[in-house]
Amino acid sequence: MSRIDRAFASPACHRQFPDMVLTRFSRGLSNHCQLVLGPTTQNWGWKPFRFFNGWVYHLRFMKDSEEFWRESCRQFPGRFSLVEKLSYVAIKLRGWNKMVFGNEDNR
């Protein structure tokens, strides 16, 4: 445990919350730096769907996205399930993006 960690939490606190860390951000223009006491990993919940323009230049994008749509129509037949179909396609496109371009979260 570093000296800065001991200044903000006692050993008893570390036993109670073993995954807590103290993160120091850069000073920037000020002579002070921001300190954040929090868990080592944070789950921010569900990420909104993002369309990346670079996808359209990939050779397989149109064929794969059309296939994802056809799969969604088989999974959710009927015209009243548009939200489910779009959610299905979004999940498939996220997986496609990780498979083709790699996992951007690890970069």
Q: In terms of domains, do 35 and 58 share one?
A: no
Q: Return d(Cα 20, Cα 26) in angstroms, integer.
A: 20
Q: Is residue 45 part of a domain?
A: no
Q: Return d(Cα 61, Cα 24) in angstroms, integer.
A: 41
Give residue 10's pLDDT. 75
Domain enclosing residue 12, as ranges: 3-39
Q: In terms of domains, do 64 and 33 share one?
A: no
Greatest CA separation for the chain: 62
Low-confidence ranges of the chain (pLDDT < 50): 107
Q: Is residue 48 part of a domain?
A: no
Cβ-contact 92, 76 below 8 angstroms = no
Give residue 62's pLDDT. 96
Q: Is residue 44 part of a domain?
A: no
Which residue in 70, 74, 64 sits closest to 94, CA to CA? 64
Give residue 88's pLDDT. 94
Q: Is residue 69 part of a domain?
A: yes
Give residue 3's pLDDT. 60
